[in-house]
């Protein structure tokens, strides 16, 4: 057998061994599963002092909580982040046929996995609308709903009311843009100038670099929300806490206070010098508020 034939045989043998290790060996890779709807083994087991579920706002993603999550976990709490909505692209195709219910479905799927303990829902910005509907659907599974400078609906109006009231507040959208998807749904995309001046003005350069590459299309889903009304018997029966961001330039303090006056909450907490993104700009202060809320409202 020639030298070249020996090399070929050796390569084939090596490839066969690698395949055997990966597929059949003890250290082999398992089949990937990217389906968040699947209830993972042990997910429903109540661990630690309580269970936070963190829900991001429009145009963002679950990565928003990367500073806060380890702080809460180090304090002994179970923390689940949820990725809502469309894929991590600004492609028009990624927004087709996405209703508010489909957008929020990953949160509802997580809630369906909860059977033996209650959770503390935390919604930021537009995420407040999603946690409100999750509370309506699963009131017995929620010990407290926390609105972090978030849109908070009432039970006297359709779910779209708070979104429309928010849209009446004058603001400079700068380089943000809007578009209509092929299914005639309305969407928007945050511009970098708007993000830097109105949402991330008190965040680090690294945080701004993240949103610049990971920003997503957003929608107010007004037509969908026109068809949904929350009830006092379900949504209204769950304790609510509002965390006010005093210098928020996106959802202003005045509008935050208007929502609280419109539909009262059990408790109001305040964060100073955070802007719209307290989980990034003031994670330690925010975690202190959430830990105090957990001590007062957690069912663990």
What residues act catalytically? 125, 248, 276
Q: CA-CA distance, 33 to 204, in Å (whole number)?
A: 34
Q: CA-CA distance, 259 to 221, in Å (whole number)?
A: 19
Q: Note the maximum CA span of the chain.
A: 87
Contact 248, 154 (CB under 8 A): no
Give the strands of the sheet with 51-55, arranged side by side.
78-82, 51-55, 119-124, 142-148, 240-245, 267-271
CA torsion angle 120 122 123 124 (round to 10): 180
Contact 163, 222 (CB under 8 A): yes
In this structure, is the dihedral angle defined by the CA atoms of residues 263, 268, 272 and 273, taken in order, positive or negative? Answer: negative
Residue where the block lists tokens 């006056």: 261
Q: CA-CA distance, 189 to 180, in Å (whole number)?
A: 11
Contact 246, 174 (CB under 8 A): no
Q: CA-CA distance, 191 to 176, in Å (whole number)?
A: 4
Q: CA-CA distance, 265 to 242, in Å (whole number)?
A: 7
């Amino acid at each position: 057998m020639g030298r070249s034939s020996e090399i070929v045989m050796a390569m084939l043998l090596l490839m066969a061994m690698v395949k055997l290790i990966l597929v059949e060996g003890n250290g082999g890779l398992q089949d990937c599963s990217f389906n968040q709807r699947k209830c993972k083994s042990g997910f429903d087991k109540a661990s630690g002092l309580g269970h936070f579920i963190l829900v991001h706002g429009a145009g963002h993603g679950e990565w928003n909580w990367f500073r806060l999550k380890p702080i809460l976990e180090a304090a002994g709490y179970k923390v689940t982040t949820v990725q809502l909505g469309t894929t991590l692209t600004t492609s028009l195709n990624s927004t087709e046929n996405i209703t508010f219910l489909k957008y929020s479905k990953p949160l509802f799927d997580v809630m369906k996995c909860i059977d033996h303990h209650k959770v503390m829902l935390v919604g930021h910005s537009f995420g407040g609308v999603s946690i409100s509907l999750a509370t309506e659907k699963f009131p017995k599974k929620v010990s407290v709903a926390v609105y972090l400078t978030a849109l908070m609906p009432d039970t006297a109006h359709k779910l779209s009311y708070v979104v429309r009231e928010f849209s009446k507040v004058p603001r400079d959208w700068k380089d943000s843009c809007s578009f209509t998807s092929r299914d005639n749904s309305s969407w928007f995309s945050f511009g970098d100038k708007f993000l830097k001046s109105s949402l991330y003005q008190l965040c680090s350069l690294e945080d701004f670099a993240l949103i610049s590459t990971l920003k997503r299309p957003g929608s107010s889903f007004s037509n969908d929300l026109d068809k949904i009304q929350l009830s006092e018997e379900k949504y209204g029966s769950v304790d609510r806490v509002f965390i006010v961001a005093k210098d928020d330039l996106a959802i202003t303090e005045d509008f935050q206070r208007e929502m609280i006056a419109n539909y009262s909450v059990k408790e109001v907490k305040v964060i100073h010098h955070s802007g719209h993104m307290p989980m990034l700009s003031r994670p330690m202060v925010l975690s202190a508020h959430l830990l105090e809320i957990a001590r007062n409202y957690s069912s663990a």
